[in-house]
Structure 1
Amino acid sequence: MLIKIIITLLIIIGASFYLRRGKSSSSKTAQAVTQHSSHPIFNKRVIYSFIMVCILSTAVLWGWGWYDDNQIVTVKISSPIEAMSSQYQVRKKDIHARKITTIEGIEIRLSNQERVTISASASTDK
């Protein structure tokens, strides 16, 4: 995830250097050609607005993913062999196929016979 963010930042920095370099090294004839062939979609405000929308949407999606992964749910494990069941408080990101990790840090490995029921946490601690 961190590498994706770094690559995105490098592309944005490279694009900004490219836009600044083109602005300072252009001649009058190149400016005249650019003015005649400029299209509203290539306007700098549109480009910068698009970049900002991309950055903001990425930040919102990353924030929502983090928020959702840290939601606390109740996991009920029922064992038909021993006729017992246990409930644990677990973060969503700590639920895996054969292992869960509780809020207290206890790792629980699951067998094929155990039934796992996940529900929203009933109690809200503030």
Structure 2
Amino acid sequence: MLTKVLITTLIIVLAMFYLKNTKQKSFNNVRSQDAVPSKFRYLSMLLLSLSLLFSAVYLFWQYQEDNKVINVTVISPVSNKKITYHVKRKDISANKIITLEGITIRLSNQERIIIAEAEIN
């Protein structure tokens, strides 16, 4: 583990020195001409802004979907008893659910569950 850290640090330091030396050599050549044309700069800023906007929209949509309240009905095969719980979508896993009240319900392999959208009154 220590050798990996030391080798990585050595590579980073060598890369920094290499980039520093190449910048000093090419600095005089770059002064005379613009490194990036302005239209490419604006296009890259537009693409960056759009990707950030779409990422924010996706994260907001995912948050809304994860916190949507749904009805989960657990049917016991032994007693044919149906119990309905209100659960957030993100709190459903393969073997347990967590209700809005904070109750954790562990599910067995024999129990069936029915997931339905909650009716909003």
What TM-score, normalized by structure 1, do the two folds share? 0.68
Which structure 1 segments of 5+ residues have no match? 1-24
Whole-angstrom distance in 1 between the partners of 2:51 and 2:117 = 32
Between the aligned residues of both structures, percent identity stands at: 32
Correspondence for 1:27: 31
Stretches (4+) displaced over 4 A: none
1:119 equivalent to 2:116? Answer yes
Cα distance in 2 between the residues matched to 1:105 and 1:86: 16
Query: What displacement does 1:39 show?
Result: 9.5
Unaligned runs of 5+ in 2: 1-26
- Which residue number corresponds to residue 99 of structure 1? 96
Aligned Cα RMSD in Å?
2.2
Matched position secondary structure for 1:92: strand
Distance in 1 of aligned mates of 2:109 and 2:50? 46
Q: How many residues align?
A: 94
Question: Which residue does the alignment assign to 1:52?
Answer: 49
- Paired residue for 1:108, among 80, 105, 110? 105
Code of the residue aligned with 1:60 in structure 2: it is V
Cα distance between partner residues in 1 of 2:75 and 2:31: 76
Larger Rg: 2
TM-score w.r.t. the length of structure 2 is 0.71
Partner of 1:75: 72
